[in-house]
A = this chain, B = another copy of it.
Amino acid sequence: MRIAVTDGIDVDAKKDLQESGHSVSEKHYSNDDLIDGCISEYDVVIIRSATKLTADVIKANTANGSKLSMIIRAGVGVDNIDLSSASENSVLVCNTPSASTNAVVELTIGHLISSCRKICTGNKKMRDGVWAKKQLRGSELRGKNLGLLGYGRIAKGVAEIARSIGMKIHVYDPYVESNEKDCVYHDSVESLFSTCTHVSIHCFLSEETRHLVDYDMISLMPQKGDDGNLCGNHIVNCARGGIIDEVGLYRALTDGTLATASLDVFEVEPAIKSNLLQLEGFQATPHIGASTKEAQRRIGHEIVSIIRAHSKGEIPGSCLNK
């Protein structure tokens, strides 16, 4: 097959594809090139987030004589692909949903501990020549309630590690069954926030979840842990920007409603001008949830499997419009 790679690919995956007899062309295209139908001669196009396959682009590349039969998103989010246009034009769309799960799980736990123990603040102060030992008293996770807003693959991975740390797991997710015994299921977001000093967000961004976590919701958090310690309230978001109302978050961090907040995702990215960045209780990373060597390698492996299935005329398991 002829494969166009527009936003990069793992070197081993490229080699595997070539060794299987496919031709792989790595080139990023402008929107004008895409509208001109530059990928219509390829069987498969592999994109990340930088290439936008709008309805017009898909239409232009699936006109008469086009070979395009599959779009692969190397990663999870398919906001940059017009799914219905792909379906109308008989193009399968696949992503690699589980490849980055563990990378996000570990980052979430890292953010939780780092913020509660003020690791970044300590590191920064030492580099500034200040030994702030006495100012950096933190709090422990053990014995606290961890509220998971959304309980899919990533949240379940976080729960497993958090349990080994000694946290109690609380969940709100109207789309999953309440069938785990080591888990307290809540029937409202308010109930979850009222119970948990620590909350980690693991839901999709949708009209239902946009600004779901605002100042009023954060104000419900109990400040005092289930173990009787006044640990303050802590929020982590490594899911999607926009679920937290950042204006409310700023207010909560400023008036003590929140002790810490750690975000890997933001309402507007790159988020380098956010006023949150001036607050000591705030900790941020630039959307690096999936950014590990291992995740990129697993994405490569998944892409190879998807193309192998497609070559045999099978529909891959991760196909979103079969």
Chain A residues in the interface with B (C-beta under 8 A):
102-103, 106-107, 109-111, 113-114, 116-120, 122-127, 129-133, 136-143, 160-161, 163-166, 227, 229-231, 269-273, 277, 283-288, 291-297
Contact = CB atoms under 8 A, between A and B. Distances in A.
A8 B131 CA distance: 19
12 contacts: A102-B140, A109-B165, A119-B283, A119-B285, A120-B120, A120-B123, A129-B272, A133-B270, A133-B286, A136-B285, A138-B292, A230-B293
A140 B110 contact: no
A229 B294 contact: yes
A110 to B, nearest CB: 3
A277 B114 contact: no
A313 to B, nearest CB: 31
Given A131-B271, A161-B165, 6 more contacts: A109-B109, A110-B119, A117-B285, A122-B285, A138-B288, A138-B291
A286 B132 contact: yes
**Residue of A102, A123, A129, A283 most packed against chain B (CB within 10 A):** A123
